[in-house]
Amino acid sequence: MKDNKNRVSSFFKPLFGLLHDQYINYVPSYGNSFFFTIGIYLLEVFVILGITGIIMLIFGPYWWDLNPAGVFLRSIHLWAAEAFVTLLFLHVIVNFSTSAFKKKKLVWIIGSILLLLVLLEFAFGLGVEGGLISQWNGKAGADLWNGLGLGFWVNPLNQGAVLGWHVAIVPIILLALIFLHYSLVRKKGLSLPYRKDIPYKMVKADHAKMYRRMIYILVIIILFAVVFSSPYIPPLTISQVANQSPNTVAVTLLQEFNYSSGTATYFDTINPYTFNTRNVYVLNPYATYVNLTGNKNQAELLFSESASQQSADFADAYTYFENNGSVTAGINSTNPMISMISSLVQMAKSGVYESTVQSESASGLDQTYVLRFLYDTGALSKVASKYGLRTAQYGMLKVGAPPWSIEYWLAPYNLLEIETANIPWWSDLENGLVAFLIFLIFMFLPFIPYLNEVPDKLKLYKPFWNRYTNPEMRKKKKKR
C-alpha cells in the first residue's frame, strides 16, 4: 500500500514541483494579510468558473435552467462570478490605496484591461442564461453596442455570438493577460511601501494560511449557491403575447408592414437592423401559413389592388385592430389586409409564427428577429417593468428577480443613464464615451500628475498598512 502511495506521489511530483516554482516565496511583512493575497483567490475563483462553465457547456441550457443539479451548478457559477468581480474590485482598491501603480505601471495597465474584460464577461454570461433576463439584457446591451457604433461586431441578441464571446474569445484573452499579469508580479514581488514611515521586513510567504482562505472562499460560494439559488425567469414568447393581447400583435404586424415600427425606424449612431420588416415579419411568415393551410393568398389579392385601395385597406385594418376587432372574425374579412394579419395572429397564438420567424435567421441561436418583434409589441418592456429591470428601476444592477442577485458595480453607469435620459441630444453613444473616458483615466492613472498623488494625500493606505496587517508596525508602536 505504501509503495503504491509512493508511486502515485512520484508520478505527480513533477507537476507539484512546477506548481511550486510559480510560488512567491518571500513577501513584505504585511504580504500575508488577506488584502495582499487577493490575486491568488482570484485565480482560484477563475478555476471554479472555468470548471463549472465547461460542465454547463457540456450539458446545455435546458440542463442548467431546469435540472436541479444544473440549477445548483449554475448558482455556483453565478456566485463565483459575483465573488470574482468583488475580489477584483477589492484588489484594485488595495493597489490604488497603497499607490502600488507608481512602481508597477505596466502591471496596473494590464490589470485595468482585465477589469474591463471581466465586466464584459459577466454581461455576456447573463446573455446566455436563456431566460427573460437574457432577453432584456440582450436588448439593452444591443442598444449600448449599437450606440457605440459596434453593433455589427457585437450583437447581444445573437446568443450564438454571445456564447462565443463568453466561452472562447474573452476567456482566452483573460487567460493570456492573467498569465502576463501574474508573471510580472512574481518577477518583481509584491509592491514595497513607497512611504518611508511604513516599516517592513521580508518574511516567508505563509502558503498554508493562503490555502485555508481558499477553502473558506469555496465554502462561502457554495453556501451562497445553496441559500440564494440563481434566479430563472422563463423567456417571453410571441405566443404568450398573442394569446394575452392578440390586437397588440396585430397592430405591431401592421407597423412592421408599413415600416413604422421601432425596429423599422431604429437608429442609434448606426442602423444595424437593415432587414426588411415587411418581409421578415409579415410576407414570409404568411407565405408559410398559406403553404401549411392551403387558404387563399390574401397577400396576392392585396398587391393586385391599386395603391390607393391598398392604403385604404391598411387604414381600415389599423382602425379595426386598434378598436379591438375580433381576430377570429377577421380571418374571413373581405379586406385582404385584415384577413392576412388575423391569420398571422392565429399563427402566432399556436407558436408556429415565432418558429417561422426564427427560422429566417442565419443561425438558430440568433434571436434578433424574435426579440426585436417582442420589443416592438411593448410586451418585453412591460414584463421587464414587472421585474424591475428597466433602467429607471436600476435594472442594470439585477441579474434576476431576487434583490440579492446584483451587479452593484453598474450603479454609477445606471445613474448616468437615468440622469441623462431627458437630454434630447444625449444618447447611448455619449454615455458610452463618458464611461470609456473614465476607464482611460483609470488605466493611465500612473502617468497623470497630481491625480496619481490623490491616494497618498488622502492617506487611503491606512486600512491596508496598519498594526493589524503589518507586524512591524505593531513592534514600532510597542517601542514607543
pLDDT of residue 145: 87
pLDDT band per the 50, 70, 90 thresholds, residue 306? very high
Judgement on whether residues 193 and 49 belong to the same structural domain of the protein: yes
Host domain of residue 331: 238-386
Query: pLDDT per residue over 401-456, tens digit each?
Result: 555 567 888 889 889 999 998 898 888 888 889 999 999 999 999 999 999 999 99
Which of residues 142 and 248 earns the better pLDDT score? 248
If asked whether residues 228 and 263 sit together in one domain, one would say no
For residue 3, the model assigns a pLDDT of 60
Same domain, 33 and 78: yes
Band the pLDDT of 148: cuts 50, 70, 90: confident
Q: Are residues 154 and 261 in the same domain?
A: no
Number of domains in the chain: 2
For residue 290, pLDDT over 90 is answered with: yes
- CB-based contacts of 271-274 (< 8 A; 24+ apart in sequence): 272/142, 272/146, 272/151, 272/152, 272/155, 273/368, 273/372
What per-residue confidence (pLDDT) applies to 393? 82
- pLDDT band, very low/low/confident/very high, at 9 (cuts 50, 70, 90): low
Q: Which of 224, 266, 260, 154 is nearest to 405 (CA)?
A: 224
Q: What is the pLDDT of residue 402?
A: 56
Q: Give the pLDDT band of residue 7 (cuts 50, 70, 90).
A: low
| Per-residue confidence band for 230, with pLDDT thresholds at 50, 70 and 90 | confident
What confidence tens digit (pLDDT) does each residue in 461-470 have? 999 988 888 8
> Does the residue 117 lie in any domain?
yes
- Residue 179 has a pLDDT of 93
| Residue 355 reports pLDDT greater than 70 | yes
- 373 and 419: one domain? no
pLDDT for res 400: 63
User: Percent of the chain, pLDDT > 70?
Assistant: 92
Q: How far apart are CA 96 and CA 93, in angstroms?
A: 5
Is residue 176 domain-resident?
yes
Q: Are 33 and 121 part of one and the same domain? A: yes
pLDDT at 478: 55
- 3-state per-residue secondary structure call for the chain: CHHHHHHHHHHHHHHHHHHHHCCCCEEECCCCCHHHCHHHHHHHHHHHHHHHHHHHHHHCHHHHHHCHHHHHHHHHHHHHHHHHHHHHHHHHHHHHHCCHHHCCHHHHHHHHHHHHHHHHHHHHHHHCCCCHHHHHHHHHHHHHHHHCCCCCCCCCCEHHHHHHHHHHHHHHHHHHHHHHHHHHHHHHCCCCCCCCCCCCCEEECCHHHHHHHHHHHHHHHHHHHHHCCCCCCCCCCHHHHHHHCHHHHHHHHHHHHCCCCCCCCCCECECCCCCCHHHHHHHHHHHHHHHHHCCCCHHHHHHCCCHHHHHHHHHHHHHHHHCCCCHHHHCCCCCHHHHHHHHHHHHHHHCHHHHHHHHCCCCCCECHHHHHHHHHHCHHHHHHHHCCCCHHHCHHHECCCCCCCECHHHHHHHHHHHHHCCCCCCCHHHHHHHHHHHHHHHHCHHHCCCHHHHHHHCCCCCCCCCCCCCHHHHHHHHHC
Is the residue at 297 inside a domain?
yes
> Each residue of 385-403: b (16+ CB within 10 Å) or e?
eebebbbeebbbbbbbeee
Considering the domain architecture, whether residues 66 and 133 belong to the same structural domain is answered as: yes
- Distance CA(28)–CA(201), nearest Å, equals 6
Closest CA to 206 of 388, 37, 35: 37
Q: Nine-digit cell at 271?
A: 442602423
337 band by pLDDT with thresholds 50, 70 and 90: very high
What is the pLDDT of the chain when averaged over all its residues?
A: 89
Q: What is the pLDDT of residue 408?
A: 85
Lowest mean pLDDT among 73-77, 256-260, 383-387, 467-471: 467-471
Higher confidence at residue 233 or residue 115?
115
Whole-number pLDDT of residue 130: 85
* Same domain flag for 295 and 419: no
- What phi and psi, each to the nearest 5 degrees, are found at residue 292? -75, -35
pTM: 0.88
pLDDT value of residue 13: 59
Q: pLDDT class for 119, splitting at 50, 70, 90?
A: very high
Q: What percent of the chain has pLDDT over 90?
A: 63
pLDDT above 80: residue 21: no
- 401 in any annotated domain: no
User: Is residue 8 assigned to a domain?
Assistant: no
Q: Do 140 and 260 belong to one domain?
A: no
> Residue 362: is its pLDDT beyond 70?
yes
Q: Side-chain half-sphere of 335: how many Cα atoms within 13 Å?
A: 21
Confidence of residue 15 (pLDDT cuts 50, 70, 90): low
Cβ contacts of residue 463 below 8 Å, gap of 6+?
Answer: 97
pLDDT at 27 over 90: no
Asked if residue 11 has pLDDT above 80, the reply is no
pLDDT in tens, 149-207: 888 888 889 888 899 999 999 999 999 999 999 888 888 777 888 888 888 888 898 88
Q: What CATH number corresponds to the domain at position 418?
A: 1.20.810.10
Does residue 39 have a pLDDT over 70? Answer: yes
Q: pLDDT tens for residues 266-281?
A: 876 666 778 899 999 9
Asked if residue 219 belongs to a domain, the reply is yes
